[in-house]
Amino acid sequence: MAYSLGEASRKKLKGVNPRLVKVVERAIELTEQDFSVLEGVRTLSRQKWLYAQGRTRLGPIVTWTLKSKHIDGEAVDLVPYPLDWNTPSKFDAIYDAMIRASFELNIPIRSGMDWDRDGVLRERKESDSPHYELA
């Protein structure tokens, strides 16, 4: 089955580096798991708000930096559609499509499931499954 990005996902790609947008657009054509863009460009104030979570604001820690590549439009968060946080295999399928698209287009990326880019997912408790950024 062929998927395509919906209008809401396309809006969330506004301001994202065109090279990364190309990878996302190709990945949606390749994927066996439909996905949505959860977040693209992020303001510094939003990054600070997310950084406070689990520190000075209730909730689990969801980011480890104030210098996210989201701020510069060099990162996106992708989630399975329909949204399902509890099935890792759905995130793995998105990862496979993103990596294939990255190689096909010769645009290096990095995933929050594989920060060291060795192809072994979650080996070091890498848990930012939605996150992709230009490498």
Q: What is the pLDDT of residue 35?
A: 98
Nearest in space to 63 (alpha carbons), one of 12, 135, 127, 15: 127
Q: Examine the pLDDT at 134 and tell me if it is beyond 80.
A: yes
pLDDT value at residue 135: 97
> Rounded CA gap, 42 and 72, in Å?
8
pLDDT given for residue 120 in this prediction: 93
Residue 124 has pLDDT above 90, yes or no: no
Confidence grade of residue 64 (pLDDT, cut at 50, 70, 90): confident
- Whose CA is closest to 131, among 119, 117, 115? 115
pLDDT at 126 over 90: no
Query: Which domains does the chain show, CATH number per domain?
Result: 7-134 (3.30.1380.10)
Q: Give the pLDDT score at 68.
A: 95
| Residue 66 confidence (pLDDT) | 94
Confidence (pLDDT) at 48: 96
Residues paired with residue 134 on neighbouring β-strands, in sequence order:
109
Residue 40 vs residues 8, 20, 58, 71, 120: alpha-carbon distances, Å: 11, 10, 24, 9, 25
